[in-house]
């Protein structure tokens, strides 16, 4: 298993470059995030040695432990899981990005708890793009309101949108969902020019996401293997 992490990353970078070319995206415009929930710190270290700089984690305590073990590395940490109010302080203190903001209360707390000495916390709003009752995220019609309230918070930097569409193997379906997120960003862009990031695409739908404008893809399985 272990020796395959650098190889998997090299293959992914190749796949990303091919998709950029195939879908007329600018070369190098799609960033790779390694999603490392449930994986030991040693695996992240291997990924970092293979060129990964962006690391995504879903669970706070697990992430904090790994950050400590990897403090000697220069990594950007992205929080991508659901956020409970009692976790906002540690998230504000220990992450560079949060991709899963979907309500004002959480944004407000992150803003208030972001240490003054740190750069503003980068935020993506999570959209429930397929309207699934089981999933986090706000509806497309609620986006503008939250964006408006969020840009007023000085310790946050509103950077873009994130979504986890319904799982399907049909690339046409995958593209349809990602296109909705992409269109939503286009509509917000004139009023909120700092919003340039589309956080979309996982191991099974990465190519569709790149086709529709992803700027950062969040990949776990295709880097580290299947989760237990």
From residue 150 to residue 189, the character string flagging contacts with ligand PLP as x (rule: CB under 6 A) and all else as - is: --------------x-------------------------
**Is 219 a binder of ligand PLP (CB under 6 A)?**
yes
Give the H/E segment covering residue 46: helix 41-49
Token couple for 33: 């995030």
**Is 213 a binder of ligand PLP (CB under 6 A)?**
no
Q: Which residue has the tokens 């019609």?
A: 141
> Is there a contact between 100 and 35 (Cβ–Cβ < 8 Å)?
no
**Is 43 a binder of ligand PLP (CB under 6 A)?**
no
**Is 221 a binder of ligand PLP (CB under 6 A)?**
yes
**Is 58 a binder of ligand PLP (CB under 6 A)?**
yes
Q: Among residues 66, 78, 175, 218, which is the contact residue for ligand PLP, using CB under 6 A?
A: 218
Give the H/E segment covering residue 99: strand 97-101
> Is there a contact between 163 and 183 (Cβ–Cβ < 8 Å)?
no
Q: Which is nearer to ligand PLP, 136 or 155 (CB)?
A: 136
Distance separating alpha carbons of residues 195 and 42, to the nearest angstrom: 34
Question: Residue 220 CB, nearest distance to ligand PLP (Å)?
Answer: 3
Which residues contribute to the site for ligand PLP (CB under 6 A)?
35, 37, 58, 80, 164, 202-204, 218-222
């Amino acid at each position: 298993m272990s020796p395959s992490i650098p190889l998997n990353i090299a293959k992914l970078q190749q796949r990303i470059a091919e998709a950029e070319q195939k879908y007329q995206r600018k070369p190098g415009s799609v960033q790779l995030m390694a999603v490392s929930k449930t994986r030991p710190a040693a695996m992240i270290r291997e990924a970092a040695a293979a060129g990964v700089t962006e690391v995504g984690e879903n669970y706070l305590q697990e992430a904090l432990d790994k950050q400590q073990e990897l403090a000697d590395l220069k990594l950007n940490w992205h929080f991508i899981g659901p956020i409970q109010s009692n976790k906002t302080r540690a998230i504000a203190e220990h992450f560079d990005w949060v991709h899963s903001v979907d309500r004002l209360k959480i944004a407000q707390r992150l803003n208030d708890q972001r240490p003054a000495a740190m750069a503003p916390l980068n935020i993506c709003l999570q959209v429930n793009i397929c309207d699934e009752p089981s999933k986090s995220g706000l509806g497309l019609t609620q986006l503008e309101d939250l964006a408006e309230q969020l840009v007023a918070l000085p310790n946050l930097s509103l950077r873009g949108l994130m979504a986890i569409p319904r799982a399907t193997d049909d690339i046409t379906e995958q593209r349809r969902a990602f296109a909705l997120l992409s269109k939503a960003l286009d509509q917000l862009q004139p009023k909120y020019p700092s919003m340039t990031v589309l956080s979309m695409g996982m191991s099974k739908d990465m190519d569709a996401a790149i086709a529709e404008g992803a700027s950062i893809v969040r990949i776990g399985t295709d880097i580290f293997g299947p989760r237990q």
